[in-house]
Structure formats: structure tokens, C-alpha cells
Amino acid sequence: MATITTSTAPDVAPEASPETAGRRRRLEVDRLFTALVKLEGSDLHLKSGKPPYVRVKGSLQPLKADAISEEKMEQLIMPMLDKRRRDILERDGGADFAYTVEVDGTVWRFRVNILRQQGALGMVSRRVNNSIPNFEGLFLPPAIEKLCHFDQGLILLAGVTGSGKSTTIASILNYINQNYRKHILTLEDPIEFVFTEDKCLINQREVGQDVIDFSVGMKHAVREDPDIILVGEMRDHETFMTAVHAAETGHLVFGTIHASSAATTITRILDLFPEEERDAIRSALAFNMKGIVAQKLLKSIKPGVSRVPVVEIMLFDPLVRKYVLEGQDESLPDHIKKSEKEGMQDFTMSLKDLIDKELIDRKDALAIAPNKEALMMALKGIGVR
């Protein structure tokens, strides 16, 4: 637990950039972000009537501090917002943006969501790693590297909020940055990882700050000579179709989507469209999708490692394309199991590998395994593939 003391801060909106974080006057809320960093937590939660909460190694715990009144919440949150963000909060009932705080000489970046619930203000913020880990540092399977070598197509990262999708995409883009001379264009809401250019030219645009919305940003993107485009989250059919169009016209497009597995991502995409358009969408997926990576985060038992990703990979080989095109989605999970040599893997394979490497606890793995019997058989050395 950490003890938090507070003081009154001026009502001025800070600049949200690493260059200015150390020069602006500190706000009262910065003390809470500092506590999050010192506790090596991933998320900070502020709710009226409760003390601040932090998520450490996947578990929420309260800070040793007083409950935050509605009046105090206003004092903590509103100074973070400039006029544009206040207008968005007033109009939409919530606002997303990036925020930076200097802690012991290091500037830390946070993804912040301000919300209203039952009429009261609240905040949830995620700490973004200062450096972008490589695949080995994230304990990602070697097959992830295959996704870096495509010249054109669509690649999706699937998972729930907080499953590490953004970190995995950042690692993929950074690999490309270190190995290819290309133009990477990102369209984010807000920008999370700030890339340092190596071999690539990188432009990062933030929705709301640099461009009005995703739709306009994507219309601009295809005229800005990108080789690779990151479009952020696939929230609606318009965003998805714009991404598909970019893939069809020779770009490599990365995006994220809320789905529980690689196979169910197909259903999730189709749900964005009316029934009469779904055959056309299946065709677009079959001919443009290169791969889907689904992941979950699980607490690690290895010292110095907080959480590791459990990863499912589905690459669009000829048989996957056939199944998607013909609507045989139920055949996809079995094909993934049989295609390990091609770089595919399901959650059972990933869980077994993480257990074998002594990265996760067997009980924890069984608790989240989609097929507990298959995992138990795999751990006993009985072939399930």
C-alpha cells in the first residue's frame, strides 16, 4: 500500500507530451500517477466515494488514502483537461487522451479515459511502457515474426480490453522499423507508444488532436504514401471497410478488435454488417486477411515477470481462406490445431508452452483454458493436435 498526500493544483491543462511533462507545473493528480509507477502497476482507477485503486500484477488493490468525494474528484480531474477535452467530455460523457508525468527524472506516458457514472466523474488510466519490448521480451511465439514480412493485407489483434493487443502491435511495428525502410502511418485514439524512428519514416496521428475522426484520417491516409497503416480499434463497419480498402490498394494494415479467439473474430466482424452484405465481407476477408492473433494476459510465476500473453495465431493459408469464404467457421479451430508447422497455434498449445517454460501456474492455466480436457491431455503428453 502507498500513502498519498495531496495539495491544491492550478486549473490549467498540461501539455501531453514527453518534452513538456517535466516543465509544466505538477497537478494534484500527478501524485496518484507517481504512486502507480512506483508500485509497478498497470492501471489507476478513480471513483467517487472510493479510495484510488491500482492494478498490480493483474489484481486491483486500494491505495492507503481517503475516499475521493465528488468535489475532490472534480479538483483532481478537471485541471487535466483543456477546452477541447472538456467539450468532448460534456458532449459525449467521456474523453480519451494521452497524459505524461515525470517520475524521478523519467517521463511516463498514460492512456487516460475520463468517464461519468451515475452522474459523477471518474477516471481509468493505463500506464504505457516507456520502451517497446521485442517479441522475446513479451514472451510472444516466434511465429509472430511472420506477420512482419507481408507487403500488403490486413492483420488483426483480437482480445478484450487490457489483453495486451496494443503492446503486441507496437512490438510488431518496431520490428518492421528496425528491419525495413518503409513509411509507417498510425491513426490512434489516443497515441500510446511513441516510436523512435530507426529505418522507417513514422508519422503518428491522434484522433481529435491531429485529425477530427478515424473516417477522415483514413481518407487522408491513402493519400499520404504509407506502406503500413495502424488504424487502431475496428469499432464499426465504416472503419473496417476503410481498412479493407487500404489493404486492397496495396497497404499492410494493422488493427485491433474485441473478440475472444481467432475463429470468433470472423463472426465479430460479420456482426458489424447487415445480413445482405455478409457474403461480400466474407470474400473481402478471405482475399485480404493475412492473419489474426488473439491473446489474453495471465499472471506469471517467474520472478521479475508480471504477466505473459496467451496467444492464438491463425494465418490465412488456402484452407483457412476456403473455410471463411464458404462459411465453414466451425472448421477453423481444428485446422489451427493441425497447422503448428505453419506457425499456427491455439490457446491450448500456448498454455502448455507457457507451463513448460515455467512462466505460468498450471491451476491458473486450467482456469482460463477454453478446453480444460485438451490442456490436461497435452500436459500428460497425449497428442491433441
> Tens of pLDDT along 243-264?
999 999 999 999 999 999 999 9
pLDDT at 222: 82
pLDDT at 378: 92
pLDDT at 191: 87
- The answer, yes or no, to whether residue 207 has pLDDT greater than 90, is no
Report CA-CA distances (Å) from 184 to 128, 272, 311, 345, 368: 20, 27, 25, 28, 35
- Report the range out of 2-6, 40-44, 205-209 with the highest average pLDDT: 40-44
- The answer, yes or no, to whether residue 28 has pLDDT greater than 50, is yes
pLDDT tens digits for range 327-381: 999 999 999 999 999 999 999 999 999 999 999 999 999 999 999 999 999 998 8
- The answer, yes or no, to whether residue 2 has pLDDT greater than 60, is no
Q: Hey, where are the domains in the chain? A: 18-128, 135-379
Fold of 135-379: Rossmann fold (3.40.50)
pLDDT at 19: 44
Q: With bands split at pLDDT 50, 70 and 90, how would you rate the model's confidence at 385?
A: very low
**pTM (whole model) above 0.85:** no
pLDDT at 12: 41
Query: CATH topology of 18-128 equal to that of 135-379?
Result: no
| Helix locations, 235-274, DSSP H | 237-248, 262-270
At the second CATH level, the architecture of 18-128 is: 2-Layer Sandwich (3.30)
pLDDT at 7: 36
Sheet containing 94-103, strands listed edge to edge, beginning at the edge strand earlier in sequence: 59-62, 53-56, 43-47, 120-128, 106-117, 94-103
| Helix locations, 148-200, DSSP H | 165-179
pLDDT at 131: 85
